């Protein structure tokens, strides 16, 4: 009789372990939440303003650009060299920006600018837009 009770308890324990393991490994299909797949970014924004080779006399510079679908954030780089070695970076969530750029005490300064867009759904930022050259002119 002792062996029968022992065998019954062993079988009951074994079944309980299987049931417990089965409940742990199974998930409710309604609770399945796959990782969000990030997609490659689209083409970069196109700079609308400032116009190519435009001369801006005093005051801030108005930038605007096309907005790629799904864009959430934009970065604008400006520099006085087309290599962007000493570039300043500006970041905005708007589709346009007004920046106060330095005149450095000369009458005319050549500036270069480029823009890229980002999104939490993309794997990276877009590539940089084409470089836009414009001039700041200071009246003396």
pTM over 0.85: no
Task: Tell me the DSSP string of the chain.
Answer: -HHHHHHHHHHHHHHHHHHHHHHHH---GGG--PPPPPBPP-PPP-EEESPTT-EEESS-EEEEE---TT--EEEEEEESSTT-TT-EEEEESSSEEEE----TTSSEEEEEEEEEEE-TTBSSPPPP---EEEEEE---
Give the full edge-to-edge strand order of the sheet including 108-118.
Answer: 55-57, 132-137, 108-118, 73-79, 88-92
Q: What is the pLDDT of residue 74?
A: 96
**What is the pLDDT at residue 101?**
83
Task: List, in order of start, the domains of the chain with CATH numbers.
Answer: 2-31 (no CATH), 47-137 (2.60.40.10)
pLDDT recorded at residue 107: 77
Q: Residue 102's pLDDT band (boundaries 50, 70, 90)?
A: confident
């Amino acid at each position: 009789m002792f062996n029968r009770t022992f065998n019954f308890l062993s079988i009951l324990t074994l079944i309980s372990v299987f049931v417990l393991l089965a409940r742990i490994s199974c998930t409710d299909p309604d609770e399945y939440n796959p990782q969000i797949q990030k997609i490659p970014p689209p083409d970069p924004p196109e700079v609308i303003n400032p116009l190519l080779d435009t001369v801006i006399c005093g005051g801030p510079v108005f930038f605007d650009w096309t907005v790629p679908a799904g864009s959430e954030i934009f970065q604008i780089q400006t520099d006085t060299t087309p290599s962007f070695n000493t570039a300043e970076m500006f970041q905005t969530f708007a589709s346009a920006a007004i920046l106060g750029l330095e005149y450095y005490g000369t009458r005319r300064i050549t500036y270069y600018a480029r823009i890229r867009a980002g999104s939490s759904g993309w794997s990276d930022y877009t590539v940089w837009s084409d470089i836009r050259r414009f001039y700041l002119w200071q009246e003396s």
